[in-house]
């Protein structure tokens, strides 16, 4: 068996920061496209109960995705700052 001393040291090296446009697309436009698609379907099929339920599910997923993306964004920024501070 090998010990941990045999393993090379792994350092965090972040990729280049995401551009403002990509962040905007990830935070807003991705989940918003689901809502738009369901709204179009609701309009085409005369707003049935199933479509309304789909819109509620999409709205819920929009909120959850915004929370998850915000947490991931904060974690990435924290790791980038920690990497810069350790240099």
Question: 29, 13 in Cβ contact below 8 A?
Answer: no
Is 1 among the domain residues? Answer: no
Is 14 among the domain residues? Answer: no
**Residue 71's pLDDT is what?**
92
**Residue 82's pLDDT is what?**
85
Is 26 among the domain residues? Answer: yes
pTM: 0.46
Question: 65, 30 in Cβ contact below 8 A?
Answer: yes
Contacts with 28 (C-beta within 8 Å, 6 or more apart), sequence order: none
Is 25 among the domain residues? Answer: yes
pLDDT along the chain (87 residues), means of 10: 58 72 77 77 74 79 86 89 80
Contacts with 87 (C-beta within 8 Å, 6 or more apart), sequence order: none
- The range of the structural domain enclosing residue 35 comes to 20-86
The total number of structural domains in the chain stands at 1
Question: 55, 42 in Cβ contact below 8 A?
Answer: yes
């Amino acid at each position: 068996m090998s010990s941990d001393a045999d393993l090379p040291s792994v350092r965090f090296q972040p990729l280049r920061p995401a551009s403002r446009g990509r962040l905007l697309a990830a935070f807003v436009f991705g989940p918003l496209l689901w809502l738009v698609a369901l709204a179009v379907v609701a309009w085409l099929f005369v707003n049935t109960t199933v479509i309304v339920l789909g819109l509620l599910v999409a709205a819920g997923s929009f909120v959850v995705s915004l929370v998850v993306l915000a947490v991931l964004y904060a974690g990435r920024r924290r790791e980038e700052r920690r990497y810069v501070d350790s240099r």
